[in-house]
């Protein structure tokens, strides 16, 4: 009877050891097949999602550039292409950026002739003009510089493609004599030293004067002549 009980106990112990061995093997297989949750989360932040793309090239998950990533230079901010100078004001118009033309704008019955000079911004950026343009008439007797009218000259800001006009007034030669022949018009934009030479579209001559007659005058930007 004692031998029978020992045999049964030995069989039970063997079965228990076998079950424990099987459970350890199963647990090892599960650990090898599924990585820990923390490892999976770590790999997602370094893949091709928005975080990884932003670090590589500054784009979001759809390939668009995020707002606020542009620089403050000409590539995306307020640099040269925006027409803003270092002091925050609109940069001045350069002679090479302006398309300058002149036409006769004399109104019938006036005692003075008028030439309207048009300045168009073709520089591809906003720019500003302030003051009076320089105006010289080329004549067969030398160069004659126009006088300013004395009117206020406001700041003019031109967007690309916009224009402004000023007027030149001059005495009409009705003396019956040959007068002083005008051969050309020289315009220098405000605050510039480079000039543009144009054909003179107004009256062909000026009356000969001893300096006491009506002078050639230039008005401020934004005026069409004849005092405004």
pLDDT exceeds cutoff 50 at 106: yes
pLDDT in tens, 197-218: 999 999 999 998 866 788 999 9
More confident residue, 90 or 23: 90
Can you list the alpha helix ranges (DSSP code H) found in the chain?
2-33, 37-44, 50-57
pLDDT exceeds cutoff 70 at 11: no
Residues 6+ apart with CB under 8 A from 228: 151, 219
pTM, two decimals, is: 0.62
pLDDT exceeds cutoff 90 at 167: yes
> Rounded to an integer, what distance in angstroms lies between the CA atom of residue 10 and that of residue 30?
31
Q: What is the mean pLDDT of residues 14-30?
A: 45
* Whole-number pLDDT of residue 85: 57
For residues 79 and 126, the answer to whether their CB atoms sit within 8 Å is no
**Longest C-alpha distance within the chain, in Å?**
160
pLDDT exceeds cutoff 80 at 128: yes
């Amino acid at each position: 009877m004692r031998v029978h009980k020992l045999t049964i106990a030995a069989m039970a112990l063997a079965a228990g050891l076998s079950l424990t061995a099987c459970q350890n093997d199963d647990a090892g297989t599960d650990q090898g097949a599924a990585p820990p949750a923390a490892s999976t989360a770590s790999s997602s932040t370094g893949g091709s999602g928005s975080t990884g793309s932003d670090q590589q090239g500054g784009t979001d998950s759809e390939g668009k550039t995020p707002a606020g990533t542009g620089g403050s230079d000409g590539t995306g901010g307020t640099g040269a292409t925006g027409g803003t100078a270092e002091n925050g004001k609109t940069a001045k118009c350069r002679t090479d950026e302006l398309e300058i033309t002149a036409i006769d704008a004399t109104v019938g019955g006036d005692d003075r002739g008028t030439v309207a000079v048009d300045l168009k911004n073709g520089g591809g950026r906003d720019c500003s003009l302030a003051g009076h343009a320089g105006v010289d008439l080329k004549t067969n007797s030398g160069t004659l510089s126009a006088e300013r009218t004395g009117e206020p000259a406001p700041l003019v800001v031109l967007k690309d493609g916009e224009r402004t006009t000023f007027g030149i007034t001059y005495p009409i030669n009705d003396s019956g004599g040959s007068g002083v022949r005008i051969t050309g018009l020289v315009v220098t934009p405000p605050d510039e030293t480079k000039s543009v030479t144009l054909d003179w579209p107004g009256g062909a001559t000026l009356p000969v004067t001893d300096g006491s007659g009506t002078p050639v005058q230039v008005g401020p930007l934004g005026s069409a002549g004849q005092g405004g």
